[in-house]
Structure 1
């Protein structure tokens, strides 16, 4: 049974200022570090400093540690009392709450601002979904990001119960008849609801975990939903949406990245109608966790651009092998090298028509890149929030970092980009709500390509500014700057995922060339 907390004076705390008898004050709470001091990671000397031992160490503490440290049970137990007539001044953001830091949230979440895009249903979904992410997903995400493991079965189960995977697929008949978070009817769910879900998930600050957790859902499942044959289609949809099975998409090869038609993985049709698949896929996100792989393979016409491509759904029980690839950004993504060695696939596992694999795959690229843009726009907010808080509490040359004009300039550039990113993604999202899928493919391929290209360029700039603001802490995987370290490490990943910046920029220009007027001259 714990002892009752004591009401203490600062004079009394001041008497406990030596090795073996050491107290400090952090935000009005009194900590007895007498036994802990020799275990302190920074050494005993740090705690015996004249500005720490027996003193109010609030400013010193927050220049070295994140607030979450105080919430760990082993440190919370060190509290023996509080200073008389004083109340804590630091109030962490509660579960599901909005941040109070300027520009840390998208403008539409500011009660003083107005938006033509969001209604009460959107706001209700955002509120309930944020609380779900904070309580259920984020703790698991942080643990798995550190360990490099897949999401826990409990998270998959909870997401299935809350229909999270259903929502990640965007609007559609798969939602009809369902009541989603915030009381939103499945028939009313639109792309702005999906934008909210995507951006709220980004807040968990675990990029690799997020990729491993959901990439197969919104990348691999739509082709099966749209082109798969029954009863395979319904079975796989049920298993993936309800968290029973994990899925991934396998397109990229060592010699075929943005040049999708250059793939060498082959599928040869057998007399009984089945297919034998041979070849390799590389850098496949969630491949290590996958039960199913949606695969693209050459099916006739030889290697190179003349070979037609067919899509297949391959079950792990059919014999493909995965080997982990160590990337610079995260083991939790389950990035893998996949080998197919005479893997036999039944005829009913062909997705869509034979030879039409590229059309099926390309038809999903807009949605994939839109998702990436939505994530990057919200990720920018997270970087800004970290930098603003750090700049306010970190003191250099006797003043907060915010007193430095060069730091304020960096923050201004970062905020301007984040505001532009959110405005741009909302504009594209609005177009998606007004276009059918065929029109989206025709009209939005170029704009979304430009958006993804520019966002990844800005993301790297934001990460660079953040590293300069945090200094050495930004290249340390733990502690105060760990989220900036992760953001800097993953920014390069976004620059190539879903098509490199150069390829997407070129795609956008090639799209516009089709519409250049022949009857207009300078």
Structure 2
């Protein structure tokens, strides 16, 4: 039978589709959209027979029994030939839409106020139009039309822009990238072209080192909530490996350069890092020194003529190291303890820098690396900050790193929760949907209350960082951020476990409906340990809080 249809905008009836029920011409309907699977039969992982069973029919129920939304998005551009009915619009996700397209921006709506004029001039709480799937607690409350004092039109616009990119270009390919343990370099460069890298440093937007500007946010309005939204939306793809590939090494390796490098080094290095043409990572952890940063053993000794540091040592579990052009490295330039540590910028082209990939439980596409340095000559100009004062630089970096981990862990908790809610409405046991079983609702409720508690504390801390100097934030918020990091990762672990129980066996196999849950369950440890283990964070949170509040006059 000859196929005459080429356009995905053509309208068909169910009777039209029923005429294509053979191996020679095999069409199916999925969610009111028509797909031609004739040539796809030999590629189908489940084999040809399962497709023959639904040939010429509505295969929606069968499709969703085995697959998730990412699969539909991935194959829609290639296989969809039309739709059912007369609306003239396809119901499938516009997976072939240009990645740079930005949707119209819903306006933020100010709440009417009867306050005096001088109070009305202050920033007022706003509510934006409901957005997304509107699953309760599946997105932050401000996505669902609730009033928030933290967000304005620019945050709404960035959310729209990033979500379109994630849904079109990232999420459909996550499983493939996981298998390959890599993400195409072009995706990382797109981060730079969109201005996202320049906005992911935890500081002001560095306009002095790049001409790139975000499409939806004036750079003078860029704040910590914009970076929050950027990271949070990318996390909706449900892959820590993807997030760390795109933002991991850069988000912790580049800020020390942007803040502490000499003007000459900044001018030479930052433009190509902000554009995505070059990559960077942070090298602190060693085989025998993780959270105990003060006891690193990688040594940097000055050459006899005083023009270079000679670096020797090893670093382990370094995110993105396998692809990096620059390495922000903690070294020992002085005596034992924290007062003998410095930070140097090493470059891949320097002889003696060696990298090899590490195999880990999860985060497959993040490029976890073992890095060794053998007599590497580093110009003294590549010192970041002052000699033997690198521990202070590292400490200023920790708040930004831990906030990133909190954002990621909490959105991944939401992903586990949201996937569970959707599945609980589809899956039936003992004659009724899972959602009708009280024990399942209890699991969902326990996830939701922890997610929302973490998210609201996170928003409060981000608001403080927007209104404090970096020094004040480091002193006053370090303990709270440490405590919240532990809370976020414990919440993530609980949500991943409970989601796995909801999905049952589907959470134990790669891909399919439980694919996100399976992947995220493997990645839990990558959040509870790096950036300071939960045990270290909980102890630090109390010690730091007591110290700060005693300075403030606490009566203890």
TM-score under structure 2 length normalisation? 0.83
* In 2, Cα distance between equivalents of 1:346 and 1:85: 69
SS at match of 2:529: coil
Is 1:351 paired with 2:384? yes
| 2:138 aligned to which of 104, 120, 123 | 104
- Residue 146 of structure 1 is matched in structure 2 by 179
After the TM superposition, which segments of 4 or more aligned residues of structure 1 sit over 3 Å from their partners? 4-13, 15-49, 52-57, 67-79, 81-98, 132-143, 175-183, 515-521
Matched residue, 2:321: 287
- In the other structure, the counterpart of 1:451 is 484
User: Residue 323 of structure 2: SS of its match in structure 1?
Assistant: coil
- Mark the CA change 1:366 to 1:69 in structure 2 (over 3 Å): closer, same or farther: closer
**Counterpart residue number, 1:416:** 449
Mapped contact 1:476–1:485 kept (Cα < 8 A): yes
Structure 1 range deviating more: 352-361 or 208-217: 208-217
Distance 1:72 1:179 in 2: 30
Residues 100 and 89 (structure 1), Cα distance of their counterparts in 2 relative to 1, 3 Å cut? farther
Matched, 1:206 2:239: yes
Structure 1: distance between partners of 2:447 and 2:540: 27
Match status 1:157 vs 2:189: yes
Cα pair distance change 1:22/1:149, threshold 3 Å: closer
Q: Give deviations 1:331-357, integer Å, cap 9, x for gaps.
A: 321111111111111111111111011
Secondary structure of 2:225's match?
helix
**Cα shift at 1:389:** 1.5
Q: Which residue matches 2:515?
A: 482
Could you tell me which residue of structure 2 aligns to residue 60 of structure 1? 62
Query: In structure 1, what is the Cα distance between the partners aligned to 2:504 and 2:427?
Result: 11
**Distance change (3 Å), C-alpha of 1:114 and 1:393:** same
Pair 134,78 (structure 1): closer, same or farther in 2 beyond 3 Å: closer
Partner of 2:330: 296
Q: Is the 8 A contact 2:339 2:389 kept in 1?
A: no
1:241-267: CA deviation from partner (whole Å, max 9, x where unpaired):
111210000000011000011111111
Task: Compare 205-214 and 339-348 and name the one that shifted more.
Answer: 205-214
1:257 matched residue in structure 2: 290
Equivalent-residue separation in structure 2 for 1:499 and 1:485 (angstroms) = 24
Tell me the alpha carbon deviations over residues 182-215 of structure 1, each in whole angstroms, 9 at most, x when there is no partner. 5432222111122112212222333112212222
Out of 473, 476, 483, the position equivalent to 1:440 is: 473
Q: Deviations over 1:139-181 (max 9, x none)?
A: 56554333112442x3233322221111111342614797843
SS at match of 2:332: strand
| Alignment counterpart, residue 164 of structure 2, candidates 111, 126, 131 | 131
1:474 and 1:250 mapped to 2: Cα distance? Answer: 34
User: Which of 484, 503, 516 is the matching residue for 2:536?
Assistant: 503
Task: Please give the alpha-carbon distance, in whole angstroms, between the structure 2 residues aligned to 1:178 and 1:148.
Answer: 32
SS of residue paired to 1:455: helix
Q: Classify 1:48/1:396 alpha carbon distance in 2 versus 1 (closer, same or farther; 3 Å).
A: farther
* Distance across 2 between alignment mates of 1:316 and 1:349: 13
- Could you tell me which residue of structure 2 aligns to residue 170 of structure 1? 202
Structure 1 window deviating more from structure 2 (40-49 vs 454-463): it is: 40-49
Alignment of 1:10-29 (within 5 A): 13=18, 25-28=29-32
Q: Which string of whole-angstrom CA distances, capped at 9 and with x for unpartnered residues, describes residues 56-103 of structure 1?
A: 443233112224444555996487x87778999966588778421413
CA contact (8 A) 2:298 2:314 kept: yes
The 10-residue stretch of structure 1 (256-265 or 395-404) with the greater mean CA deviation from structure 2:
395-404
Pairwise mapping of residues 260-279 of structure 1 onto structure 2 (< 5 A)? 260-273=293-306, 274-279=308-313
Q: Which position in structure 2 is the counterpart of 1:377?
A: 410
User: Match for residue 241 of structure 1?
Assistant: 274
RMSD (Å) for aligned C-alpha atoms:
3.3
1:3 aligns with 2:35: no
Offset, 1:9:
5.4
- Does the 8 Å contact 2:479/2:544 carry over to 1? yes
Match of 1:405 in 2: 438
Aligned residues: 513
Aligned to 2:344: 312
Q: 1:36: Cα distance to partner? A: 6.8
Cα contact 2:314–2:373 (8 A) shared by 1: yes
Conserved in 1, the CA contact under 8 Å of 2:68 and 2:512? yes
Shift of 1:41: 3.8
CA distance in 2 between counterparts of 1:363 and 1:2 reads 63
| Cα distance in structure 2, aligned partners of 1:389 and 1:300 | 56
| Partner secondary structure for residue 464 of structure 2 | helix
In 1, distance between residues paired with 2:329 and 2:270? 16
Mapped to 1, the partners of 2:382 and 2:554 lie a distance apart of 49
Does residue 431 (structure 1) correspond to residue 464 (structure 2)? The answer is: yes
Q: Does 1:364 align with 2:365?
A: no
Gap runs ≥5 in structure 1: none
Check conservation: 1:69, 1:75, Cα contact below 8 A. no
1:252 aligns to what SS in structure 2? coil
